[in-house]
Amino acid sequence: MHRLRLFACVLTASAAIAACLDVDWTPPRPLVASLLHVEDCDALLAALREDARSKVEEEARSLKASYRRSRIRFGFGSSATDAGGAPPPEAEGPSHYTDTNTQVAGVDEPDFVKTDGHRVFVVHGGNVEVFRSWPADETHLVGSIAVEGEPTSMFLAGERLVVFSQVAYSNQGGEQGSALPAELLAPDRAWGAYYPYAYRTFTKISVFDVSGESSALLHERYVEGQFRDARRHGPVIRTIVEAPTWQPNWWSGDFPPYGGGGMRKRAFFARVDDWRDARLAAIEKTELSDFLPDEYVVEDGVMVRREPRCDRYYAPPAAQSGYGMTAVVTLDLESLGEGESLFVLGSPNVIYASHDVLLLGHELWLPSWAGSGSDTALHAFSLDEASTEYLGSGAVPGYVRNQFSLDERDGIIRASTTETTGGSRLGWLGPDEPSANRVITYEVRDGALVELGRTPALAPGEQIFATRYLGDLAYVVTFRQVDPLFAIDLSDPKAPTVLGELKIPGFSTYLHPLSASHLLTIGRYVDERTGWDRGMQLQIFDVSDPSRPTQLHSLVVEGYSSAEHDHKAFVYDPVNALLAVPVDSWSMEFVSALRLFHVSIDEGFTEAGAIDHTPLFSDCVEPVAGGFYYVCGYGSSMRRGLFIDDYVYALSYGGLSVHALDDVSTPLVVEPLPPPVFYAMPWMPMGW
């Protein structure tokens, strides 16, 4: 069991005092990765209460531990008209277009822009703007689809547009969501006081028919909680929502201060005990409705609450997963039936789906001041048409960075992980703190993920920044000062083998398969000698011989791209061998452009043009002495590019422009967009 050396700091603005706790604290137990399938509502309530009790007890234990080794350090602190899709014309369409860049081919992921070649749908403020995009030189805005709440992303499946939005219902006289039933307003639950501006957040799933000149709203569902991600397998959509659950009343005046706050030990321990006892008493009074997220569907224009099915809930051992609930909501676009919802206690940290398996990663829970644990529970579910069924769970040592760290192939689950034996979170490694990076394989046996094999520790002292699985090979990038690229053979799951390694300055954050034997990557170039970040870096690697990976080409570009952390912004058109990424740079002045690059295995990278939408933001700039003042409440950065046939489409909040690839500098069409109007959330989330 690891001992965690943690620094928890509390800043008191009025006194400008930073109290930092140097705490040597031992987690109560190692991660036990398993899920209990709850059979009825009594068993579900018992499991939820036990989880809450265990967390309160552990919070109290860790608070007392913080007092024993606390020290005070002083420092300074800072105090339109609802138009539809306009269906594709009968005329011949484009030969190809770039769809959303997804991890698994054939498993769609949500994005704020979608196209079928004939139309482009864009989330813009509170609307989805619809463009006729073909023929390219006739591109124009055909209308807007109003969406309740704050739309974030969507799917386009034939003539069905599925939009995900966040909707808040407050207790401020019903100005938000006034048409909803009274119980959607902030309730007075037993587990804590609410502020006057508290609100409840729901993820809304709206399904529109966009086959006609005007859109038609076909289906509406509300699931309490924050939208985390979704996947589409043909007509079946699974939406993952992070829903709230019961929590101790952290921010009321009775929560003991970390480290004791200058109190004598006996008085502080007594206060901790009083807080613990009050929270435990409150837990015994909770009902099932205090824990479970609400779910509604609209039937004949009326909100109808779905009664929870307790047998669709799964609970890990007490005090193992973080606060919250993971909801997996299934919707079949063909039947538009309610589908099944499945719930797992705990908040998801990483989500992955292949054609057959859904993986949810939950980090080990630690007390509030300690952050998150250094181990991950991985829960596997089978996917069969609209059915989602639990397969088993397993403990992954360390931190799973993102969805690309996970993979499933022929029933074998693979995970890349960074384990920090000092307990720090990824990105906060101390200069001498040990870490180990591995790729581990698992298979499901009798309701458990059983480890089959693992690599030796890779690049000790570094962290994994990117992973890509291609068939029986895994490519892993770690970084601290140089960028080792590892090639790993997974053809024998019981004996993962490191075939080769290449060390170069900087690091990659996303790896894209350029061919069967080449990788196209994006990341940062970091000077090996000085440690200075020199800019965005594009690279091509030859991995035809995995035992000797080779860097063929590299290009450093001044600035930063959203594609470095969002793979959907990395848009590569293999037909035209072109890459489009948004790039923001700050040299003498701020410039945001869609940068285009020809990509060649033989010749490397060639600049193919840059598209700047600065003229579309002229109303946002007010000249002042020595410069200008930006007055708009939305950014001027380029948001995305996409390719349709031999044209590139550039998108920003200012509008959409279309350019022929043989003359990018001269736009064929510039279609401005009205300023986006964003959803106005109430002042403070419920439970703060």
Paired sense of beta strands 473-479 and 463-470, if any:
antiparallel
Distance CA 162, CA 112 (A): 11
Q: Can you give the pLDDT at residue 307?
A: 86
Q: Can you give the pLDDT at residue 681?
A: 63
Place of tokens 């290449």: 502
Distance CA 348, CA 553 (A): 37
Q: Can you give the pLDDT at residue 426?
A: 44
Q: Can you give the pLDDT at residue 90?
A: 54
Are 523 and 514 in contact, with CB atoms under 8 Å apart?
no
pLDDT tens digits along 121-178: 999 999 999 999 999 999 999 999 999 989 999 999 999 999 999 988 754 444 443 3
Q: Can you give the pLDDT at residue 265?
A: 85
Distance CA 369, CA 392 (A): 31
pLDDT tens digits along 561-589: 999 999 999 999 999 999 999 999 887 77
Q: Can you give the pLDDT at residue 264?
A: 83
Paired sense of beta strands 435-445 and 236-243, if any:
unpaired
**Which is higher by pLDDT, 568 or 631?**
568
Q: Does 515 score more than 90 pLDDT?
A: yes
Q: Can you give the pLDDT at residue 81?
A: 42
Distance CA 406, CA 107 (A): 15
Q: Can you give the pLDDT at residue 318?
A: 83
**Which is higher by pLDDT, 192 or 26?**
26
Distance CA 43, CA 49 (A): 10
Q: Can you give the pLDDT at residue 309?
A: 87
Q: Does 496 score more than 80 pLDDT?
A: yes
As a dihedral over the C-alpha atoms of residue 388, residue 392, residue 395, residue 399, rounded to 10 degrees, the angle is -10
Q: Can you give the pLDDT at residue 198?
A: 53
Q: Can you give the pLDDT at residue 201?
A: 84
Q: Can you give the pLDDT at residue 82?
A: 54
Q: Can you give the pLDDT at residue 629?
A: 77
Q: Can you give the pLDDT at residue 373?
A: 53
Q: Does 5 score more than 90 pLDDT?
A: no
Residue 655 pLDDT level (bands cut at 50, 70, 90): very high
Q: Can you give the pLDDT at residue 176?
A: 40
**Which is higher by pLDDT, 11 or 676?**
676
What pTM was computed for the model? 0.88
**Which is higher by pLDDT, 319 or 307?**
307
Mean pLDDT to the nearest integer, 326-341? 88
Q: Which residue type sits at 643?
A: F
Lowest mean pLDDT among 201-210, 393-402, 415-424, 649-658: 415-424
Q: Can you give the pLDDT at residue 84?
A: 58
Q: Does 479 score more than 90 pLDDT?
A: no
Q: Can you give the pLDDT at residue 219?
A: 94
Q: pLDDT above 70 covers what percent of the chain?
A: 81
**Which is higher by pLDDT, 16 or 670?**
670
* Encoded tokens for 478: 């770690």
Distance CA 4, CA 1 (A): 10
Q: Does 482 score more than 50 pLDDT?
A: yes
Q: Can you give the pLDDT at residue 564?
A: 96
Lowest mean pLDDT among 131-135, 187-191, 292-296: 187-191
Q: Can you give the pLDDT at residue 459?
A: 86
Mean pLDDT to the nearest integer, 374-386? 91
Q: Does 247 score more than 70 pLDDT?
A: no
Sheet holding 638-644, edge to edge: 638-644, 647-652, 655-660, 663-672
Q: Can you give the pLDDT at residue 266?
A: 86
Q: Does 666 score more than 80 pLDDT?
A: yes
Q: What separation in angstroms does the CA of 358 have from each of 15, 387, 391, 407?
A: 49, 11, 10, 10
Q: Can you give the pLDDT at residue 682?
A: 56
pLDDT tens digits along 602-621: 999 999 999 999 889 988 88
Q: Can you give the pLDDT at residue 146?
A: 94
Residue 86 pLDDT level (bands cut at 50, 70, 90): low
Are 143 and 675 in contact, with CB atoms under 8 Å apart?
no
| Mean pLDDT over the full length of the chain | 83
Mean pLDDT to the nearest integer, 219-224? 92
Q: Can you give the pLDDT at residue 68?
A: 56
Q: Can you give the pLDDT at residue 526?
A: 85
**Which is higher by pLDDT, 506 or 108?**
108
Stated as kind and residue range, the H or E segment containing 651 is strand 647-652
Q: Can you give the pLDDT at residue 248?
A: 60
Q: Does 16 score more than 60 pLDDT?
A: no
Lowest mean pLDDT among 155-169, 405-419, 498-512, 522-536: 522-536
Q: What separation in angstroms does the CA of 120 have from each of 153, 481, 618, 658?
A: 13, 42, 25, 12
Residue 432 pLDDT level (bands cut at 50, 70, 90): low
Q: Can you give the pLDDT at residue 428?
A: 44
Paired sense of beta strands 216-224 and 295-299, if any:
antiparallel
Q: What separation in angstroms does the CA of 180 have from each of 168, 174, 197, 204, 516?
A: 11, 9, 18, 13, 53
pLDDT tens digits along 544-555: 999 999 999 999
**Which is higher by pLDDT, 260 or 484?**
484
